[in-house]
Amino acid sequence: MIKGVLFDMDGVLVDSESYICKAAIMMFNELGISVLPKDFEPFVGMGENKYIGGVAEKYGISVDIERVKARTYDIYGRIVKGNLLPLPGAQNFIAKCRNKGLKLALATSADRVKMEVNLRETGLSADLFQSIITGLDVEKKKPSPDIYLKAAESLELDPKNCLVVEDAVSGIKAGKAAGCKCLAVRSSVEEVKLKEADWICESLLKVPEEALNW
């Protein structure tokens, strides 16, 4: 029986993927390295350490991950100002979950600084969630189940009674490995790559009724 919903953030609630990619490209350019958007695709949803570090490794360069990540977040905060919006249906879906009496957690692989920028710029309140878990709260990032296990625990729920809402392949793998049911939002990758999810929707405007009734 569903008792809680565990939300990924980027690509699920916030249309931020293109901005963090642009910010990372700009950061690499400052280092004299020209990288491409497609270089980041294998690392979507895994947190910025892997998102940035994986591309650095691909190009054979050594970076101080905390320094380059901080610089990327500085650029990100500047370029999203006034530009970030909640994804279609996000606010209404959160409200629907709350009205059903479900416990809600935000479980993002991003660091807290990025999560706070996203909430501020989109107008989504942290108070909508009983718990917030970021990439800084777990050692192993998605596709490891740790973040969703911790999110369920923070809500005092069994993972098997939780629905994970994700857009990334790594996130779906993490949710399933945690023992949760998964709703995939097809905002970042094609549907065929999300086949491990229990349900797939085009956006949170079109969530199958069964996803909240089991």
How does pLDDT run across 152-164, given as a tens digit for each residue? 999 999 999 999 9
Task: Please state, rounded to an integer, the average pLDDT across all residues of the chain.
Answer: 95
* Fold assignment, 17-80: DNA polymerase; domain 1 (1.10.150)
What six digits make up the tokens of 72?
Answer: 């990327």
Q: Provide the residue ranges of all domains of the chain, joining segments of one domain with +.
A: 4-15+85-212, 17-80
The class that CATH gives domain 4-15+85-212 is: alpha beta
Calpha distance 200→125 (Å, rounded)? 26
DSSP-derived letter for residue 208 is -
Cα–chain center distance at 212: 20
Q: Is 111 designated active site?
A: no
Residues 6+ away with beta carbon under 8 Å from 141: 46, 47, 49, 50, 109, 135, 147
Q: For residue 106, what is the enclosing H or E element? A: strand 103-107
* Identified catalytic residue from 8, 146, 167, 198: 8
Mind listing the pLDDT tens digit for each residue in 74-131? 999 999 999 999 999 999 999 999 999 999 999 999 899 999 999 999 999 999 999 9
Give the count of beta carbons closer than 10 Å to the beta carbon of residue 214: 11
Q: Is 8 designated active site?
A: yes
Task: Please name which of 129, 198, 99, 111 lies closest in space to residue 184, comparing C-alpha atoms.
Answer: 198
